[in-house]
A = this chain, B = another copy of it.
Amino acid sequence: MSDAPAKRRGRPKSKPEDAGARQALIRAGLEHLTEKGYSAVGIDEILRSAEVPKGSFYHYFKSKADFGSQLVEAYHTFFVGMLERSLSNADLPPLERLRAFTLEAEAGMARHGFRKGCLVGNLGQEMGALPEPFRDQLVAVLTDWQERTRRCLAGAQSEGALAGSHDPGQLSAFFWIGWEGAVLRAKLERSPEPLRAFSDQFFRFVTS
């Protein structure tokens, strides 16, 4: 017996073409919302871009808010993958791992001509116009990225690359507050300069 029919029997409500439609909707949502944010993008625009019928959307998502929330989850998963590729890179000393993340993030923005920013930063900025449950979700995501970065900075401290006078938790919070500002500015200026200005100065500070 081949895998395909067995899979189909196991998940009766999720035909392969539907799973593809969900994927396409999530992909289109990430593409549009990282560029324009939540308020400026309508469901119709997502449907046209994903080339799926409206029914598919409401099969997978209860509402635009539910879709937005699932986009944040998908973005978080993608982003942690990128962050950990750098922060868990045992070939580099800890501080260089964080530096490597900033370079990979810059390369990611460059691939889209600095038109797309951070979904979490975009939605955070729009929070005043967003359904209230987004607030806790967005804060939780940022807190997770901060905690991973704190561990990296604590590692740098144990190796002596970061002065003992620094508090890794405070530094990590500072990094993420500022980095979201740098991504915002890079998108505004369509340039890598704000990312470099922020990270260069950050590393000058922590290594001086």
State how many angstroms separate the Cβ of A77 from the closest Cβ of chain B: 20
Residue interface bits A118-142, CB-to-B below 8 A is 1, else 0 = 0001101111110000010011001
What chain B residues lie within 8 Å of A135 (beta carbons)? 188-190
Assembly CA distance A181 to B202 (angstroms): 14
**Contact between chains at A126 and B181 (CB < 8 Å):** no
Q: When each residue 188-208 of chain A gets 1 if its CB lies under 8 Å from chain B and 0 otherwise, what string results?
A: 111000100110111001001
**Complex alpha-carbon distance, A194 and B124, angstroms:** 13
Q: What secondary structure prevails in chain A residues at the interface with B?
A: helix
> What distance in Å separates the Cβ of A178 from its nearest Cβ neighbour in chain B?
3
A44 to B202, CA, bound (A): 44
User: How many subunits of this chain does the assembly comprise?
Assistant: 2
| A150 CB within 8 Å of chain B | no
Name which residue of chain B comes closest to A190, CB basis: B135
**A117, A165, A185, A188 pick with most chain B CB within 10 angstroms:** A188
Whether A36 lies near B177 (C-beta < 8 A) is no
Which of A121, A173, A187, A201 has the most chain B CB atoms inside 10 A of its CB?
A: A201
Q: Does A97 contact B (CB under 8 A)?
A: no
Across-interface contacts of A36 in B (CB, < 8 A) = 39, 126, 128-129
Bound complex: CA A126 to CA B194 (Å):
17
Measured in the bound complex, the distance between the Cα atoms of B198 and A179 in whole Å is 11
Q: Is the CB of B37 within 8 A of A188?
A: no
A194: B residues at CB distance < 8 A:
173, 177
B127/A187 in contact, CB under 8 A = yes
Roughly how many angstroms separate A171 CA and B202 CA in the complex, as a whole number?
Answer: 10
Are the C-beta atoms of B184 and A198 separated by less than 8 Å? no
* Interfacial chain B residues near A115, Cβ < 8 Å: 128
Extra A-B contacts (19), CB below 8 Å, given A41-B129, A124-B185:
A35-B128, A36-B129, A37-B37, A37-B126, A39-B39, A40-B126, A40-B129, A115-B128, A117-B128, A125-B187, A135-B188, A138-B188, A170-B201, A173-B201, A174-B198, A177-B185, A178-B182, A184-B184, A205-B205
